[in-house]
Amino acid sequence: MKLFGTPGSPYVRKARLALEEKRIAYEYVHAPAEVRETQVVPLNPLGKIPVLLGDDGRAVYDSAVIVEYLDGLVAEPRLIPQAFNDRIEVKRWEALGDGIADAAVLISHDYRKPEARRESAEWYAKQRQKIERGLAVMSRDLGSREFCFGASFTLADIAAGYALGYLDQALPELNWRKPYPALSQLAARLAARDSFRKTLPAPAV
Ligand SMILES: N[C@@H](CCC(=O)N[C@@H](CS)C(=O)NCC(=O)O)C(=O)O
């Protein structure tokens, strides 16, 4: 099985975290923007990463579908609970992680444009509010518990972990740790896991 991605993408990291947690062997194929047309578009018409290519030739995208696919492929450890309400709760955590990452990706891509072509201050404020409201709900729902949902590690922890990690990487000036000490402790616990250590992107130079 192959996973096409780039190390800086939070969605690719989500898929890699699921592969690592489930101990599924895979080949990581570096697919930066220059090769997307030839390497990714034939597998995913949307041209986005991550894409998972199975040994049977089946291509799976996007990251939410990849995680669900992997969780069905290898039963243990279970990342998405089977009971309906529990499953929806864990998927809601995933939506929070994705939404925080979406806003942070938009901001960090806009930063790279020449100043004259950047979005307005209102647009930036709107994206930051999404991140801040998302963090507030994550913090409230985590409370003083060890895991984001239930009594064991799930996709909810992957979602919080990759979103918080991406904020550190893309928007370090946000300083989210100070207002959210419980999320900060969660991030430290997650960072100590093999899966998080193995998928930590190298610092930008
Ligand atoms: N919802 C998708 C988002 C994937 C996504 O936006 N990936 C970015 C990289 S961070 C990408 O491939 N962008 C290229 C494009 O949109 O053409 C997922 O979770 O997989």
DSSP strand pairing (2-5 vs 27-30): parallel
CA 107 to ligand 1 center in whole angstroms:
14
CATH number at residue 134: 1.20.1050.10
Please name the residues in contact with 101: beta carbons below 8 A apart, sequence gap of 6 or more: 10, 11, 162, 163, 166
Cα separation of 60 and 66, whole Å?
6
pLDDT of residue 200: 95
**Residues 68 and 161 reside in one and the same domain:** no
pTM score, whole prediction? 0.96
**Residues 92 and 189 reside in one and the same domain:** yes
**Residues 90 and 135 reside in one and the same domain:** yes
pLDDT of residue 153: 98
Give the residue whose CA is nearest to atom 15 of ligand 1: 48
Give the residue whose CA is nearest to atom 2 of ligand 1: 62
Last residue of a domain, one of 24, 39, 73: 73
Atom of ligand 1 nearest to the CA of 48: 12
pLDDT of residue 202: 80
pLDDT of residue 170: 95
Q: Tell me the residue range of the domain where 46 lies.
A: 2-73
CA 5 to ligand 1 center in whole angstroms:
10
**Residues 22 and 105 reside in one and the same domain:** no
pLDDT of residue 204: 61
**Residues 124 and 153 reside in one and the same domain:** yes
**Residues 90 and 182 reside in one and the same domain:** yes
Is residue 202 included in any domain, yes or no? Answer: no
pLDDT of residue 63: 98
Is residue 183 included in any domain, yes or no? Answer: yes
Structurally, the chain folds into a number of domains equal to 2
**Residues 66 and 98 reside in one and the same domain:** no
**Residues 102 and 185 reside in one and the same domain:** yes
Given a cut of 50, the residues of the chain with pLDDT beneath it are 205
48 lines ligand 1 (CB under 6 A): yes
Residue labelled with tokens 């409201």: 133
